[in-house]
Structure 1
Amino acid sequence: MNLHTKYIVLFLALAAVVTACNQKSEQELKNTTRVIKGLYSYGPEIKSFTDCEEGREYWVADSAKTLELAYSNFNFEKPYEPVYIEVECHLIKSDSLIVSADFDSTMVVTKLLKITKEIPDGPCN
């Protein structure tokens, strides 16, 4: 084989490995994405979520860029007023160098499904 052909074969092999790795990462992400329901509070220093069913508290990262905006549209007089939300998200370990270190996990919101001031009866109350 000439040098040109070797580079093409090497490039194709590398591309196949990268593609296989990316497919696995996307599949793992899909497996960990879930719908979660609970109370969300937002303010200048804290973005927190409490899972109604488990009672666990999470730091919130809004990758969808819609949760904080929807919360702000309620025009609360004071920060940190809880609202009920339903979101698609996945959980990651919290960064130990920022405020989120006070929380075991960070909830990364990928899609806002519902947000309301009305907190339903049940474990959230």
Structure 2
Amino acid sequence: MQLRLIKYFTLAVIVFICSCGNKHNNGDNTVYKGLYSFGPDSKSFKDCDDNGHEFWVTDESAQLELKYSQMNIEKPYVPVYVEVEGVKVKSGKEGLGAELDSTLIVKKLIKITKEIPQDMCN
């Protein structure tokens, strides 16, 4: 009986650890539309659907920064319109992005263009 209880407890602990281990990959991704700018000291996203709220960006898709750089934008921090799939999390208190209260973790790049829709972020 005790051995059975230990097995159930161990299984419960493993399930708990697995469910908490990667909080950013929980299937709760959302599509965000807004302006992305990139430069040596900043990667930011201005959410057009959230009154222009600005977020630090972490690019787990490995496509956002790549596609931005392939657009041959001559100056850093020139905004481009993007549609991305990702999750928003609270920013850390130190390091890159600490000056913004939230971070957008980009999981998938859907669209990137230099043409900013006139009805967006105005």
TM-score band (shorter)? 0.7 to 0.9
Note the residue ranges of structure 1 that are not aligned, 5 or more in a row: none
Q: Secondary structure at the match of 1:86?
A: strand
CA offsets per residue over residues 78-105 of structure 1, 9 Å max, x none? 1111100001111111111113111010
- Residue from 38, 43, 47 that aligns with 1:51: 47
For residues 123 and 75 of structure 1, the distance between their equivalents in structure 2, rounded to whole angstroms, comes to: 23
**Which residue does the alignment assign to 1:34?**
30
Q: Of the two, which has the highest radius of gyration?
A: 1
For residues 89 and 41 of structure 1, the distance between their equivalents in structure 2, rounded to whole angstroms, comes to: 17
For residues 96 and 111 of structure 1, the distance between their equivalents in structure 2, rounded to whole angstroms, comes to: 26
Deviation at 1:22?
A: 2.5
Give the TM-score taking structure 1 as reference length: 0.82
RMSD: 2.5
- State yes or no: 1:80 paired with 2:77: yes
Q: Secondary structure at the match of 1:122?
A: coil
Moved over 6 A (4+): 24-28
Aligned residues: 120
Q: Secondary structure at the match of 1:57?
A: strand
Give the TM-score taking structure 2 as reference length: 0.83
Q: How does 1:1-125 map to 2 (within 5 A)?
A: 6=3, 10-11=6-7, 13-23=9-19, 29-31=26-28, 33-54=29-50, 55-125=52-122
Q: Which has the higher helix share?
A: 1
Q: Secondary structure at the match of 2:67?
A: helix
